[in-house]
Amino acid sequence: MIKTSNEITIHKPIDEVMKLFKEQDYFQHWQKGLISFKNLSSQTGQVGSKRSMRIKTSVATISMIEEITRLDLPHLWAATYRTRGVVNEQCNRFRESVIKNNNSQHRVTLWQASSTFKFTGMTRLAAKANPKVFTSQTLQHMQDFKIFAETGKSVKTGDYVL
């Protein structure tokens, strides 16, 4: 088992962050490795809803199933990701803060993500040998989302999409 936690500050208010975070059409602009996804549930974005995803990682192209497990937006979004040999329980917490600078102030969103990876079979050995393959992916997605949210620029294509 591997546990990891990351935090990042996005220089946008929480309502704007949530609008971008929830919108499936934007996934491709902040998840570089996303090849495709398909909703498996009639209602999307709800606890229990599932989607299949194909993602190119640094070591392979994988297919996984995402299931939303907890939801209290704009503050909490949790899901479980399952693929052969790996179960990743991901919990994303968001909170808004105000930053004061000279005579101005602006709202920012603090995003804290924690992951628990559980392994079976040969994947257990791979995770032990190279845990960074698993732990670095979440932080990379967070950094890419930050770029997308703050600039409107797709990290996949380099085009401005917002």
The band of 88, judged by pLDDT with boundaries at 50, 70 and 90, is: very high
- Cα separation, 4 vs 114, in Å, equals 6
- Cα separation, 114 vs 80, in Å, equals 12
pLDDT of residue 146: 97
Please state which CATH number belongs to domain 2-151. 3.30.530.20
Is the pLDDT higher at 130 or at 5?
A: 5
Q: In the predicted model, is pLDDT for residue 114 greater than 90? A: yes
Domain regions of the chain by residue span: 2-151
Cα Rg of the chain (Å, integer)? 16
Average pLDDT over residues 127-146: 86
Q: In the predicted model, is pLDDT for residue 49 greater than 90? A: yes
The band of 123, judged by pLDDT with boundaries at 50, 70 and 90, is: confident
The percent helix, strand, coil of the chain (3-state, each to 5) is: 25, 45, 25
The residue ranges of DSSP E strands in the chain, in sequence order, are 2-10, 34-39, 50-56, 61-72, 76-83, 86-101, 104-119
Average pLDDT over residues 121-148: 86
Q: In the predicted model, is pLDDT for residue 59 greater than 80? A: no
